[in-house]
Amino acid sequence: MRRSFTLMEIIVVVVIVSILSVATFKALATIKIRSLKAKEMTRLSLQSQIVLDALAQRLRARIPATVIGYDPASGSFRYIWQILPNQTYPILEWIGFDEENLSLGMYSGFVDMKRSITDYSDYSLSTDITLSDLRPRALIFAGSFDQGLLSEDMQNAFGWHGKRSDQAFDVRSHPPHTITITDSVKPKWIYEKYYLAKSAYAVARGADIDKNAACLQGLDVDSDTLLLFYDYRPWRGQTFCADPKGNGQSGKASILMRHVAGMSAIVRDGTLRITLDVNESLRGTRIGVHFSKMKVVF
């Protein structure tokens, strides 16, 4: 009776065990990568959803006629409802009405000038408005209720990027319930579609802005970083602080999300649709995670 293995048998066993080990290792590596990818997809999906929800909340407080797409490469902008499918405006900007005072019940959402103004030479409005702070504001013509369309010159309506602000009027507060239009230009039309505005907003990626702007110091901005700019007033000639063609360091900035490969805003079926393209490589691998997510804002 044979009591030991031959050399050939041992070699065959070693080869079989090696093959099984390699196969097992590859299977485990694949499972690990799938697990990491699923985990990263879940994290990025949740993060992008939070960002889109935050943007939607800001955009719900927009003055409809003020929403534009802006191209810093050419310095041109266009009203969001007039952007054609083959046109690219990578930065979204809009002016928001004074949501803080609205939420406090200080005014009804727009200023009823027809009710308030009796002496058209005075332009002091006796309203239910009580401003919670003294930051500069403006009365802004809202446009039509359906799409916020203007019959006036859109390019010179709100002061975007060096243009005139024919439909925005500086105001000053007189506590407790009076505001006065202090602008040298007075409203052409006196009726209720005038919103009280406090700030403009811009959403842009690092690839489309001046990453060396003073307001971005300490934020570690890359080309695929998505940022929100706020606290600037185009009707006073200001641009957002990292505008490559801007005329000053106005406003503030905060990071919304990293690894955003693209951001777009389009109008479809009477709604504003914001899309984020997210692209990130798994750490220590060449495998990428990519997906797009859209948020509809009414």
Question: Is 111 among the domain residues?
Answer: yes
pLDDT in tens, 211-231: 999 999 999 999 999 999 999
Handedness of CA 116, 117, 122, 123 (dihedral sign): positive
Question: Is 282 among the domain residues?
Answer: no
Q: What share of the chain is helix, strand, coil (3-state, %, to 5)?
A: 30, 30, 40
Please give the C-alpha separations between residue 107 and each of 95, 110, 177, 271, in angstroms, as whole numbers.
18, 7, 10, 26
Question: Is 39 among the domain residues?
Answer: no
Question: Quick check: 225 and 205 in contact, CB under 8 A?
Answer: yes
Question: Is 107 among the domain residues?
Answer: yes
The verdict on pTM exceeding 0.95 is no
Question: Is 74 among the domain residues?
Answer: yes
Nearest CA to 52 out of 99, 104, 92, 80 is that of: 92
pLDDT in tens, 11-70: 777 888 778 777 777 776 676 777 777 788 888 889 999 999 999 999 999 988 899 999
Residue 132 has pLDDT above 60, yes or no: no
Per-residue confidence (pLDDT) for residue 78, from 0 to 100: 94
Tally the domains of the chain.
Answer: 1
Spell out the residues 6+ positions from residue 233 whose beta carbon is closer than 8 angstroms to its own.
Answer: 136, 138, 159, 199, 200, 250
pLDDT in tens, 135-187: 667 888 766 555 566 666 788 999 999 999 988 888 877 766 677 788 888 77
Question: Is 230 among the domain residues?
Answer: yes
Question: Is 174 among the domain residues?
Answer: yes
Range of the domain at 105: 63-257
Question: Quick check: 197 and 171 in contact, CB under 8 A?
Answer: no
Question: Is 105 among the domain residues?
Answer: yes
